[in-house]
Every structure is written in structure tokens, then in C-alpha cells.
Amino acid sequence: MKKKRDATILAHNYQLPEVQDIADIVGDSLELARAAANLESEVIVFCGVDFMAETAAVLSPEKTVILPVADAQCPMAEMITAGEVKVLRERFPEAAVVAYVNTSAEVKAESDICCTSANAVAVVESLDEQEIIFLPDRNLAAYVARFTKKQILPWEGFCYVHDRITSDDLKTARSFHPDAEVLVHPECRSEVIDLADHVFSTSGMVRHACKSRSKEFIIGTEVGLLHQLEKKCPGKIFYPLSETAVCINMKKTELSDVLDSLKSLKPRIVVSNEVAIKAKKAIERMLDIT
């Protein structure tokens, strides 16, 4: 069916293992955004959550972009609205607005530039402005603030999966696996990041683990990443920092949903031209510097 539809299947690192295994490209948000901008296929099936499919639709408006499960939504992306961004701009007129890709197309359209967890520091440092409105993730904002002299003005959003990982969770995991490297995602709380050995995006974790001399790793992000780690880094052992680090929405897409979406070419994600033109500028500005 994929061949019949001239489709490419993209899957985020947090998807179910069986969905990752049938995807043409598996990666983090930055890798998938780059892929979506350069695909030649007529149809993109995005196995992830809503903002990811929206980003693909913005970058490739001539293509049919499908989100197999319509209600696979990112709670953090819903913690900020375009109207709230407009209010922030009025309140801080000298500040640049940096929108994490985990936002709606409407929010991106009101922002100056987008970022991912892999490039957030580079994006902030690329800007001339000294005040940065960073939204919606307060934890990623705090992480970025460690590496810049600019004033970071965070929005109080968060990823519920990463935010509920605690320093006690990390200490417990390390006590069980004292020889393991601890890798955590920058969406984690500051006290968790302080105790980790390294901080990476999901694909950054994969690259580091594969080249590291260490044989054991404690992984502080959504548990779906362990599938890619085990596939790409054979002979190494991976432990979830928290067994409960599960994103329900990332797990909604099943193989049957992918097949059904290929058959029907629904649910299709469409972004209005007015919003897409402005959002595309913010996304492409990010892609140009990283």
C-alpha cells in the first residue's frame, strides 16, 4: 500500500517498536523536520503527534500529510496559544520569540524562529536580541539559560513525561546500575540534569551511546527510545531511568492505523495558507542555521 500511494512513513523515536520498524525514517523532531522538507514522495505518513504532522504540512504544502490517529496530540503544545504569544510580544517588545517545535502551527506563525531540543542553544545564540521569550517548555528554557548570557523569559509549559522524572528516580536507577552512564533529555527538570552524565536529544542519545566506550546506560527520556538504542547499538545494555516515562499519545498509533491511513489517505493534516506562510519562515530560519 505504501508503494501504491507513493508514500514515505516517518516515525518519531517514541513510537511503538513495531511502528518504528516499518518506517522509512525514524528520528527526533529535527531529523524528521529536515526529512519532511526534502521528500520527493507524494504522501507523508507521520507516525507521531499533531504538531509534527503540521510541521511537515507547512514545509511541504503540495504533499498529502497524514496523521494516522487524529487525536494523537501533544499536551505541551496545547499549553500555549497564538493569542498568548501576541500578548507576550506586547509585554516584551524588544524580545525575540523562540518557539519549540512542540507547538501548534499558529504559535509558530507568531514566533521569530523555531528550535528543537537538539539545537535550542544554537538557535538562541544565533539571534541578535538579548531578551528571548522561550516557549512553551520551562525546563528546556532553563537548560538553554545555562549556556547563554541572554535573558531567557520562559513560558510555564512542560512535558508531563519528562517533568515527572525526579532526582530520586535518577539516584535509585544509579544505585541499581552504578557503572552505567546516565543520559537525560533537556526537557527534564534542572535537578535531574544536574545529576546526569550527559544531556542529549533522543537521536543525540543514540549517537553518543553507539560511540561511547561505556557498555551500560540509564536513559532519562520516554521509554520508546530504548528500541532504537538496542537496534543501533548492539552489545550494549540500556535501562529506563523511569519505567513510567510513557507518552500515551505517542503510543496511540498502531500498525493497523498506519495501514488504514494509507488506504483512505485520512486523517489529512492541512494548515491554512495564511498560517503556513508565517510558520514556514520560523521553521526554515531554524533549518538554515543548524
Measure the CA–CA gap between 246 and 260, rounded to whole angstroms. 25
Grid cell of 110 as nine digits: 507568531
- C-alpha 31: how far from chain center: 10
Q: What is the pLDDT of residue 290?
A: 60
pLDDT digits (tens, 9 = 90+) for 73-126: 999 999 999 999 999 999 999 999 999 999 999 999 999 999 999 999 999 999
CATH superfamily of this structure's domain 76-158: NadA-like (3.40.50.10800)
Q: Which amino acid is at 29?
A: S
The angle at the Cα of 228, spanning 72 to 246, to the nearest 5 degrees, equals: 40
pTM score, whole prediction? 0.94
For the domain spanning 165-244, the CATH number is 3.40.50.10800
Split at pLDDT 50, 70, 90, the class of 52 is very high
pLDDT digits (tens, 9 = 90+) for 179-214: 999 999 999 999 999 999 999 999 999 999 999 999
Q: What is the pLDDT of residue 133?
A: 98
For the domain spanning 7-71+251-271, the CATH number is 3.40.50.10800
Work out the average pLDDT over 169-181: 98
Grid cell of 275 as nine digits: 498560517
pLDDT digits (tens, 9 = 90+) for 149-163: 999 999 999 999 999
Q: What is the pLDDT of residue 37?
A: 87
Report percent pLDDT > 70 for the chain.
100
The total of other beta-carbon atoms located within 10 Å of residue 17's CB is 12
Q: Do domains 7-71+251-271 and 76-158 have the same CATH topology?
A: yes
Half-sphere exposure of 25 (CA within 13 A, CB side): 19
Work out the average pLDDT over 43-56: 96
User: Domains of the chain: which residue ranges?
Assistant: 7-71+251-271, 76-158, 165-244
